[in-house]
Structure 1
Amino acid sequence: MKTLTSILAATDFSEHARTAIERAALLAREQESALRLLHVISSSSLDDLRNMMRGSAAVEHSVLEEARVSLHDTATILTRTTGVTAAEEVATGQVIATIRTAAEEADLLVLGARGTNPLRDLLLGTTAERLLRTCRRPVLVVKRAPKGTYGRVIVPVDFSSYSAPALAVAGLVAPHAHISVLHAFRVPFEARLHIAGATDDTIRRYCDEQRQEAARHIDRLMTQCLPHVPRQTCLVERGDPSPVILAQAQAQSADLIVLGKQGQSRAEELLLGSVTRHVLAGSTCDVLVVSP
């Protein structure tokens, strides 16, 4: 994927979804991409409605028509404010599965951080979190109202197979941003090293070696994945990845964090990956999660 040719924005008409659609439109305008708006009506909710209304087709038709009108109004406002004309689709089915299937035809899926049902989000996880576990496309979770194109981006890397795809997509989504490539490292068994006889100089020398080695890795990654991004910074920090990432995002006033998706096994996918989950929960800026 060398350009973003198609963007899918899913909406439930919540405030978070409206913000996500605005961001999707700005990206579509910047990238000259096709934008598609999707609203999914739960088939199980429709079944409940049919049972409650004893099979009345008129009520079901009314629900569908109301959704189409709302989506069309959303698209009309979007065109007026951004100049972007979006395709519109109202679908019925299992919400997560329907969005995931639709996303297979897009280069990027854009979602709001929260939906219209806070209790369901609390019990089951947000729609964004549930989609991130299995979606194979890059997923952008929008957390704040956009004020323009992305200007400061942080891309955490751990030098696994997830790092290069994350960097490449960051350069694609935010080609004019200042991109900081961040690596966090830990000193193994640090609490026990002094007991084992390690001196402060030994630990300091280990940290210096880790920083130098990480900097060399980052330099190679930036040369490989960000050849056309002029503003780049290499950051190597000591500490646990999640708090280091969140602290750097705050310190740099980042408006986007781009993460490589963790979890190669089915079980790990369902858990989403602790770093991804913690950053998604703790960040105040948008988060883009990229599969390898």
Structure 2
Amino acid sequence: MITKGSIVVGMDFSACSASALAQALRMGAWTRSPVHALHVIDTLALTELEVAYSPLMLEVHQQLKDEARSAWGRVSRDVPGAAQATFEVITHNPLTGLVQACKDRNAGLLCLGIHGDRAHRGVGTLAGKCARSAPTDVLLVEEGKSAKFRTIVACIDFSETSRRALERAMQIAAQDGAQVHALHVYRAPWSGLHVRPAAMKDDPGAQARYREILRENLEKFCRPTDPAVTWTNPRFELLEHRSHGAGIAEYVRASGAELCVLGTRGKTNLRDVMLGSTAERVVREAPCSTLVVRPVE
């Protein structure tokens, strides 16, 4: 199941957030999950307005809420099925407000535009923070990408979280009729050595055997356990690269994928385990929508 519980959508009324709403409604329909759209008025911005417009503060606050509801009406009427979603305006720190909304609504998925009106290249600040901090899976949607996904890259590092990422990718593929690329980016174990074992020196056969073992492990790891998605038959891909995150981003760009699915804090290196830097780099650099999958607690 792509999501358990409800779906929360962060709305800033940009074209990108409209695409996120459309994807949330699509995915919610698969499992009849309720969709809750939320606009957060930034408390800090409101405080600064209070300094400038102190005598009119209550009126200004109400006007902001009214304008948000009007903006919702303008955006939602162009998104099929939006009438089925609830909409709420709150005043809070944007990150904290979205995180709390996910908890309060027992959300299985948070959907956001990958950027707002102010950032048209790369991931926006709030989207990046949510990908790191939200208590649920996070889908960051490219502007204009509101329809089915056709090519999906699932990032595999042999951790249980990457198994969840593969399951999510295959579930979406089963609904959309998409092709899944199961991608393992690796740094060859001899690449960081100043000296190499004799068996590795100028022996392309040894290196080829290493890749064969990796491919066997990848195919074994990716055997689906959900009978509903066995037909998707992922395509297995290995890529040697000095950086896991940069390698994933390069592959996604070259393959023309529309969605990249990856887990956080997998088995790569100590920094990745502590900070999830591979996921952060992919979110920052991948030229497509990204689904960030949380580990099972």
Whether these two folds match at TM > 0.5 is yes
Question: Is 1:133–1:271's contact at 8 Å kept on the other side of the alignment?
Answer: no
1:133–1:269: 8 Å Cα contact kept in structure 2? no
After superposition, the Cα gap between the structure-2 partners of 1:88 and 1:270, relative to the gap in structure 1 and judged at 3 Å, is farther
Q: State the 1:189 CA deviation.
A: 3.9
Opposite residue 92 of structure 2, the aligned amino acid is: G
CA contact (8 A) 1:180 1:233 kept: yes
Number of the residue aligned with 1:106: 107
The code of the aligned residue for 1:251 comes to A
Match of 2:44?
44
Any idea what SS the aligned residue of 2:252 has? Answer: helix
Distance 1:270 1:158, change over 3 A: closer
Residues 16-56 of structure 1: per-residue CA shift (max 9 Å, x gap): 22222222233334444322111000122222222322242
Q: Return 5+ residue gaps in structure 1 as ranges.
A: none
Alignment counterpart, residue 276 of structure 1, candidates 262, 279, 284: 279
Structure 2 match to 1:199: 201
Structure 1 partner of 2:261:
258
| 1:45-124 matches, cutoff 5 A | 45-56=45-56, 57-78=58-79, 81-82=80-81, 85-104=84-103, 105-118=106-119
Question: 1:236 is matched with which residue?
Answer: 238
- Return the alpha-carbon distance in structure 2 between the equivalents of residues 282 and 15 of structure 1: 20
Structure 1's 30 and 279: CA in aligned 2 closer, same or farther, altered over 3 A? Answer: same
- Tell me the residue number matched to 2:213: 212
Counterpart of 1:291?
A: 294
* Aligned residue identity for 1:281: R
Structure 1 window deviating more from structure 2 (124-133 vs 36-45): it is: 124-133
Q: TM-score, normalised by structure 2?
A: 0.83
Structure-2 separation of matches of 1:27 and 1:13 = 20
Q: 2:133 aligned with 1:134, yes or no? A: yes
Distance 1:217 1:62, change over 3 A: same
Distance 1:144 1:71 in 2: 17
For 2:41, what is the secondary structure of its paired residue? strand
The Cα shift of 1:140 comes to 0.6
Distance 1:70 1:269 in 2: 39
The superposition leaves residues 232-260 of structure 1 with CA deviations (integer Å, 9 ceiling, x where unpaired) of 21222222323432233233321100010
TM-score, scaled to structure 1? 0.84
Matched-pair contact (CA < 8 Å) for 2:159–2:266: no
Percentage identity across aligned positions? Answer: 25
SS of the residue corresponding to residue 238 of structure 2 reads strand
Post-superposition offset of 1:221: 3.2
8 Å Cα contact 1:50-1:60 kept in structure 2: no
Q: Are the equivalent residues in 2 in contact too, given 1:20–1:142 (CA < 8 A)?
A: yes
CA distance in 2, matches of 1:55, 1:226: 63
Q: Does the aligned pair in 2 maintain the 1:167–1:225 contact within 8 Å?
A: no
Relative to structure 1, the CA distance from residue 114 to residue 37 in structure 2 (aligned partners, 3 Å threshold; closer, same or farther) is same
Deviations 1:72-94, CA, capped at 9 Å, x for gaps: 3323332xx35762111111111
Whole-angstrom CA distance in 2 between matches of 1:24 and 1:84: 13
Task: List gaps (5 residues or longer) in structure 2.
Answer: none
Q: How many residues are treated as equivalent by the alignment? A: 285
